[in-house]
A and B are shown apart, each in its own frame.
Chain A
């Protein structure tokens, strides 16, 4: 479903080149849950950005369902992210003064859907994350865990094929982290949504179907661990 070939990414800062990703070739199948792990500076966020069509590789190719990102126009790339991908970020990026409802329907509004369809999708997404009673609350009045659930609802609302999560538990305590992990992995299992998580959290990584370990921009391990991570619960 997601595929990269000989992917490389170089950043230039003050005419010094930093090779952040080197020769990355990987495939992620539909319905997989993949954790990208590694120390900070290992390039894991950059890899996720490239997979999510937010950044472009310097060398190599990346494709979703066989469509090479390099062949897409900016408009097609915007559309791809809007329709096929969902995003969850460590810092939430919620609009505190807006209601939960207004926050989660943003991808639908960007898509330009009718209000009735937006409401329908929003209700479904809120039920999925267990926040259907808080739709009209302001986002700033929620707890951290609730905020992250709103983010997941926002990622979910557009019925995506892939959810990209960048350190989704990074700002949460361990108990809340557990809830969020459960939620993400349940979506993966029950809705068949492919999940790509960038994380430091070993617990979260171990519960994913596969861990891709990066070091200095290269893949050093790419292990499938089955469902054994769930056994810990």
Chain B
């Protein structure tokens, strides 16, 4: 029998038992639909993170922190208690305390001298602000971060820092000041923050240089330049016991150079630090989403597995029901393999129709959900589509479902192919 005739016969056989076929296809449909959706969420997150992470750029920057004691001693496996070690001094006489995550400014200076090709090291100065306002405007709370030299934040308007006492506003806040955010560039805002032991408020005038594009980080946060952050930090923290001790810092290289970036990372690693470039952070985020995606997909695969038992059941019944027909086909000279193929094709077709329905519905539901969510829950996440459907991923779902369906069909198809024609014709 020609393969095309077999496929037509298989399809006709399926439509003979309409309800049964429909129910089995529905089970596969649920599995395929779920798989498309879970995979779509993963891809949606990846696509979103890509646009978000890409809102910060800088390929000569390393984010650095000290290694955890466990990382240092490679104790991740042993998980024993960590032994106390006395502080030591490095060759420049700086105290190195292995029991704290904090790094002092002196240590950073010493590091800069020992690392060739490093232009500057900037600690991550924490800035605690109370409110931000403009003349004639209300007071708003604002989270302020610091952008080290060499990090570029994507901007709606304006430009990056070119001096001190400058601020980049998040777009939501900027819109509260002026709907036409580009009008704000060059204007002055007043930042109020607590300082000293009494905690009285102090004002500082900052010039708006840019408006940050919406993103995961820049959604509510504004940024000040490193020098301003340092000054505010000094005012707020100079009396504190852990003044000038930081949990992390950034390293700015003199030039963009992947080799230099790598060698600096390696050197920092040997000195007991964890250094990550923006590319590394992107990769880590992607990996995390990838794991999430695999986890979600596993649920969908379980649904698909359950559905495959439906296929087995349907085909076993079909073989019993059509025993005489198979007997006739075999008597009339249809070979074992063709009989096998006929049932395998029926199985694959169930998978095919289920997958087709699942994919089409998933794309439809996903697209509608994206539109609705964009207008409601994710309004503040501009450009965020919860579901992203890549043609390649959808094609892979189709192939996978057909493969699962085929595997489910093997047992009944083999049974059919092994029937003895005489016994099959006599079957009641």
Contact = CB atoms under 8 A, between A and B. Distances in A.
Given A110-B1, A112-B1, A95 B325 contact: yes
Interface of B: 1-2, 5, 9, 12, 16, 324-325, 327-336, 338, 421-422, 425
Interface residues of A, number: 23
Given A54-B422, A55-B422, A110 B16 contact: no
B1 A109 contact: yes
B332 A110 contact: yes
Contacts of A30: none
A110 B331 contact: no
A111 interface: yes
Contacts of B334: 78, 82, 110
Interface of A: 49, 54-55, 74-75, 78-83, 87, 89, 93, 95, 97-98, 106-107, 109-112
Contacts of A49: 422
A12 to B, nearest CB: 14
Contacts of A97: 16
A87 B422 contact: no
Going nearest first, the 3 A-B pairs with the smallest beta carbon separation are A82-B333, A81-B333, A78-B333
Contacts of A89: 425
Nearest to A46: B422
Interface of B is mostly: helix
B422 A109 contact: no
A219 B334 CA distance: 32
Given A74-B336, A78-B335, A93-B324, A110 B329 contact: yes
Nearest to B324: A93
A111 B332 CA distance: 9
Contacts of A87: 331-332
A75 B425 contact: no
Contact of A110 (B325, B338, B425): B338
A107 B333 contact: yes
B421 A54 contact: yes
A68 B324 CA distance: 28
A232 B5 CA distance: 46
A63 to B, nearest CB: 18
B2 A81 contact: no
A54 B332 CA distance: 10
A69 to B, nearest CB: 14
A79 B332 CA distance: 9
